[in-house]
Chains A and B, each alone.
Chain A
Amino acid sequence: MRYAYFPGCKIPHHLPEYGSSVEAVCAALGIELVKLEFNCCGWPVRHENELASIFSAVRNFAIAEEAGLHILTPCKCCFGNLKYAVSRLEEDRKLALLVGSLLARDGLAMPRSMHVSHLLTILDEQVGVEILQRHAATPLTGVKVACHYGCHALRPGNVTGFDDPLAPTLFERIIRALGAETVDWDLRLECCGHPLRGRDDVISDALMRKKLEGAASAGADVIATACTYCQLQFDKERDLLPVNAALRQAPPAVLVTQLIGTALGLDSGAVGMDKNNIPWHAPIL
């Protein structure tokens, strides 16, 4: 298993623990990550200029194709935008020509095929639940996990093809393989609110609160995230609330690779659990 690793823009500075834990988990499970110099996936600029967004996305596919690799990303927003660009090129011939001419100016060719997978898909389809179970040296027995899916991977389902957009099961399968329990959580498919950060902080906070309260009332110990932005919202942004805010007591957010890394017994420095602002410790049995 060899993939072009697409961490996205936010990991290097804002969430380095996701990057280090992804690399550690992939190394432990035999997934080789090749680091190419990608550019932004184009999602952030889509609010302002869709052509810039799609060109950014397709340029990454061109870079991956030059290396003969498929893209693997741990970020749902990067995944969603890369997928969206593929669907737009397929339906709009004129747009494809325009993007092709922009690529040519950078000395790149229009990629013949464009493949991107989210990390969860690779863990589920390529690694498999059995291998995960077998590698889980310290299973997360008794931990109740609320799986947070992340909008941009899930919807629109016909574009992303990630899982059943109305009743997905992929995330839970992986978490259960680690020995943890998954809780039945009504809001697991809802938005974390991060896309509105800086645009409408009131609604962003309201969406975050609703989700965290929902996870707490579902009886979860932790919320598992598999997206850079979701984790930033539930951890770093939540930490900006007043020190006495009740929401701090809601289940902490933990990256899926941190949970896997803990179950696999990987080096704690790479897993980076101590870098989370709202702390969580795996129970010691």
Chain B
Amino acid sequence: MHFFDFGLSIASVICVAGVARRIALWWRPTTKPVSDPRPRPILSAVKALVLDVLLLARTVRTGPLRWLAHCLVFFGFMGLLLFHALDETVTVSFFPAYESTLDPWQFLRNLFAAMTLAGLGLMIYRRLAVRRLRAVTRTQDWAIVLAVGCIILSGVFLEMSKIISPAAYQRMADEYFYSDNGQEVTALKAFWAHEYGVVFSRRLPSDAATLEMGAELNEDNCAACHADTRSAFLSRSLATALAPLSPAMNTSRADTVFWYFHMIFCFIGLAALPFAKFFHPLSTPANMIARQGRRDGDAESPLAQRMGMDACTRCGECSVRCSVAPSFSVLGNPDILPSEKLASLRRFWSDGSLAGRPLADFAQGSRICTECLRCTDVCPSGINLQDLWMRSKKEVARRSPDPNGAVRLMRPSQRVVSFEDCNIVPPISGLADNAESYWACVQCTTCTSVCPVVAVCEDPSTDLDLTPQQIMNLLRMGLKDQTLGARMVWSCTTCYKCQEHCPQNIRVADVLYELRNTAAARMGCGDRAGIDGESQ
């Protein structure tokens, strides 16, 4: 068939070329030092294949519902792929007597389809019901669910349309039923209409004698190759449900239409395999076998790192359970969450297209991460996220410095005036701006004399710009802007000795925290202004 061969060729070429390109990218030359992960016995790779890939052992830990959903889709879809799509290669070689219209194949096809659809339903439910997961769900997450769902549903509709189709019946009858006897022809038709659900345009007799004769003819001519369509429980039920539409579907040759739909969806699925999340059925098992069941955050080779980055299924489990996710709730920067940060890291490392606000957001996500290992521990795909974060942090901070780094890059004159023309305040503030905070300050210099940072500096006025007591003095005169860039503010070690020892109970250390918050908020506002300027 021309359409089939043409479509399959195009889809296969895109698929093979795309997969080859993605895998080739894993071996891209690197300037990063290659580390030697500890060698592990080959047996643990086999163990990972069985436990992690086939039994989805890593997914079990993220909850029974998720495991069930993924198992349903995984086993359902693999069953259809191997024993239905590749039936002439796989099924026939194991079962030479295979006929797609015989049981158990007809039944299994429907069972696998039902499993996949149930699994997809659970996945959709989860994506909508878990708030944080909904927040990180992108188009590609819906696209893959839609693609798989369309393949399965179009298949069910195709089978349904064949069940009701008199044309399909006639094709089979012409090939396998040799009879000139008009009564026999009618009897077999009547049997198929009554028992197997074919919808003929003409009314057929349904008396017991005719049906019995039809049953005998069916037994002699058809049953060896065609089982009762009731075992195709999904398609047959669908046919019953859509019975009023049957004549219309038959006249418009719905079986041909749905065949085209089913093929087109399958080709789209095949061609999409090398792209975005569609690649995970290949990359995730590869990564899990390479990881050999480990959950640690030890350093990996660049090859393993790239394989890991490609293995993300965007399931969002890391983001749901991330230790610093509360910071995301407050700051609203999705790059704080691991699954989102991984996508940005891929862009940061691969094409260098990350710049401006997206780069600043990624850098904030990178530095807010506390390296707690949880994402790596929970990742159902076994990605060593910890290693990716630790390896990228310094580089990210260099390209987009945090507020502390940015202040230190300023010239002394800039540090005094940089924050003057922006009035953004952090969500919690008031201590530094409130004159009451300093009413009691008598400039006794106790804060400065107990400060360990001042004590280890050879010349505080050049190393720190201002001492704590000088900062308090500027603040009580309302000169907050001029303190924000002072290195003392940023080199405060937060030991609270100043505050503890202050004879007047001034909250010196808390004020310094607030000044850092204020400067950080204002730098964010500066960035945004810069981006607006670029876009004009």
Contacts and interface: CB of A to CB of B under 8 A. Distances in A.
A97 interface: no
A39 B452 contact: no
Contacts of A56: 324, 326-327
Contacts of A206: 456
B368 A44 contact: yes
A228 to B, nearest CB: 11
Interface in A128-173: 151-152, 154-157, 165-166
A90 interface: no
B457 interface: yes
A9 B131 CA distance: 24
A57 to B, nearest CB: 9
B326 A190 contact: no
Contacts of B319: none
Interface stretch (B90-98, B182-190, B440-448, B491-499): B491-499
B494 A105 contact: no
Given A48-B368, A48-B517, A151-B496, A9 B323 contact: yes
B517 A40 contact: no
Given A14-B371, A155-B500, A51 B493 contact: no
Contacts of B247: none
Interface string B403-428: 11000000000000000000000111
A203 B497 contact: no
- Provide the main secondary structure of the chain A interface: helix
B491 A52 contact: no
A146 B476 CA distance: 40
B373 to A, nearest CB: 4
A48 B371 contact: no
B434 interface: no
Interface in B169-186: none
Nearest to A199: B404
Contacts of B456: 203, 206-207, 210
Interface string A184-207: 000000110101100110011011
A50 B513 contact: yes
A40 B326 contact: yes
Nearest to A60: B326
A44 B427 contact: no
Contacts of B531: none
Most buried by B among A45, A98, A207, A210: A45
Contact of A48 (B373, B403, B457): B403
B326 A156 contact: no
B428 A95 contact: yes
B426 A50 contact: yes
Given A9-B323, A39-B326, A56-B324, A49 B426 contact: yes
Given A166-B500, A210-B456, A9 B493 contact: no
B325 A39 contact: yes
A207 to B, nearest CB: 6
A47 interface: yes
Interface string B308-325: 000000000000011111
A256 B442 CA distance: 41
B372 A10 contact: yes
A35 to B, nearest CB: 12
Contacts of A12: 372-374, 377
B297 A13 contact: yes
A209 B487 CA distance: 21
Contacts of A203: 453, 456-457, 491, 493
A55 interface: yes
B490 A9 contact: no
B304 interface: no
B427 A50 contact: yes
Interface in A14-56: 14, 37-40, 42, 44-52, 54-56
A157 B500 contact: yes
Given A50-B426, A200-B491, A10 B371 contact: yes
B386 A200 contact: no
A48 B516 CA distance: 7
Contacts of B457: 203
Contact of A10 (B370, B377, B517): B370
B370 A191 contact: no
Contacts of B403: 48
A87 B462 CA distance: 36
A234 B483 CA distance: 32
A156 B447 CA distance: 13
B529 interface: no
A238 interface: no
Interface in A37-89: 37-40, 42, 44-52, 54-56, 59, 88
Given A44-B370, A203-B457, A203-B491, A155 B496 contact: yes
Contact of B517 (A49, A165, A210): A49
Given A155-B500, A193-B493, A196-B491, A50 B323 contact: no
Interface in B489-514: 490-491, 493-497, 499-500, 507, 509, 513-514
A46 B330 CA distance: 12
A114 interface: no
Contacts of A10: 370-372
A106 interface: yes
Contacts of B209: none
A102 interface: yes
Nearest to B496: A155
Contacts of B327: 40, 45, 49, 52, 56
Contacts of A14: 371
Contacts of B152: none
B490 A200 contact: yes
A37 B403 CA distance: 30
Which 6 pairs show the lowest CB-CB distances between chains A and B? A155-B496, A9-B372, A9-B370, A191-B495, A151-B495, A206-B456
23 contacts: A9-B372, A12-B373, A13-B296, A14-B371, A39-B324, A45-B368, A49-B427, A49-B517, A49-B521, A54-B428, A59-B326, A106-B131, A106-B326, A151-B494, A151-B496, A152-B494, A165-B500, A195-B493, A195-B494, A199-B491, A200-B490, A203-B453, A207-B452
Given A40-B370, A155-B497, A210-B452, 6 more contacts: A37-B321, A39-B323, A44-B368, A47-B520, A106-B329, A203-B491
Interface of A: 9-10, 12-14, 37-40, 42, 44-52, 54-56, 59, 88, 95, 98, 102, 105-106, 151-152, 154-157, 165-166, 190-191, 193, 195-196, 199-200, 203-204, 206-207, 210
